[in-house]
Amino acid sequence: MTIHLNSQTDLEDAIAVLVKQDKRLKPILELTGMPALRQREPGFEGLAHIVCGQQLSTASAGAIWGRLTAAFDPFDPELIRKARADRLGRLGLSAAKIKTLKNIARELAAERLNLDVLAEEDADAAHHTLTALHGIGPWTADVYLLFCLGHGDAWPAGDIAIQEAIKVGLGLKARPTVKQMAPLAEPWRPLRGAAAHLWWSYYRVLKKREGVIAK
């Protein structure tokens, strides 16, 4: 059964289980305090929002997203599928992102993709479904599963902040690679998504400590 993190209470319950399950997490939680649940809009809009923000500063991504949602209200995949590429480009989207969004919209229209179903799938299977789409990389897939669908076991193995936090928190000699992150997270199944929230909180604590974060 898939566990969901749809409320702050869900997250707090999951963190409580994790701390009992893995004693190494107790001192991490004592330093961070209870993490706050991070949520984003679900469905096509949520996935499109993440895609639009790829490899951009927060300010630039916000400006493009603002223009896009103002131009397409409601933000419907069918409208994006039918929109001219040059119109989308004038709103600030790159050719690669336009191709990605149009492809997702086509998959939804053809009913080859159902984003709601992913919330109930095994995290690894849902991750594979998303990364099979053009332009959706592992980080985008995991962030969508965790923040937009509240998937309790989504694990952003490629997130550098989590990698760095785990390195320091678990006393590792080097930042773990994406491949190494999978076995490291095994003790936290089926709540790896809650663990990710905890490690992000720990990273923010580390950033405030001068000289702790390795360059």
> When comparing pLDDT for 119 and 212, which is higher?
119
Q: Residue with structure tokens 């469905």?
A: 43
Average pLDDT, the chain: 93
Mean pLDDT of 18-38: 96
Domains and CATH numbers, the chain: 8-37+153-207 (1.10.1670.40), 43-148 (1.10.340.30)
Query: Is the pLDDT assigned to residue 215 strictly greater than 70?
Result: no
Confidence of residue 60 (pLDDT cuts 50, 70, 90): very high
Query: Is the pLDDT assigned to residue 38 strictly greater than 60?
Result: yes
Q: What is the pLDDT of residues 97-143, one digit of tens each?
A: 999 999 999 999 999 999 988 888 999 999 999 999 989 999 999 99
pTM given for the model = 0.87
- Check: CB of residue 108 under 8 Å from CB of residue 44: yes
Q: What is the pLDDT of residues 142-154, one digit of tens each?
A: 999 999 999 999 9
Query: Is the pLDDT assigned to residue 54 strictly greater than 90?
Result: no
Confidence of residue 211 (pLDDT cuts 50, 70, 90): low
